[in-house]
Amino acid sequence: MDSNNSVVLTRRVTITSSNPITREEFIKKIKESVEEIINFLKKNECTKLGHIGLISTTDGEDYLELCVSDIKQKPQIKGALRKKFEKIKLTFNIIEFGIPKEDIEKKINEELKNIQEYFII
């Protein structure tokens, strides 16, 4: 595979909410966003997915990892977060082949913004 067509991106954001965020609500929202990214990859003819990874931590003591290594499969989740929290740090990473960096970067930024806005409002 031609590595010149590969895109590797990492983005970090911190979400701080005045209302407590529940673990279940957070998992639901990040799964939705990752599924939107997967649909975008499929629609735009991604030739190969290295991985999509999202690691979330509230204070370094607990974490949640969401990982996709096959575009045809649902995200895998492991780790544990506390039941409620007001602040969480997210690190998003993707390696993909076939879609221009600007396009995937725009989609990832859009989805991270959606996550932030969902919990801040």
pLDDT (tens digit, 9 = 90+) per residue, 9-19? 999 999 999 89
Q: What's phi and psi for 3, nearest 5 deg?
A: -70, -15
| Kind and range of the H or E run holding 83 | none
Percent of the chain exceeding pLDDT 70 equals 95
pLDDT at 2 (0 to 100)? 46
Q: Check residue 3 and report its DSSP letter.
A: G
Q: Are 1 and 97 in contact (CB under 8 A)?
A: yes
Residue 98: which of 52, 54, 51, 41 has the closest Cα? 41
pLDDT at 115 (0 to 100)? 93
Contacts of 110 (CB under 8 A, 6+ apart): none
Q: Are 98 and 45 in contact (CB under 8 A)?
A: yes
Q: Which domains does the chain have, with CATH numbers?
A: 3-120 (3.30.300)
The pTM (predicted TM-score) of the whole model is 0.90
Q: Is the pLDDT of residue 4 over 70?
A: no
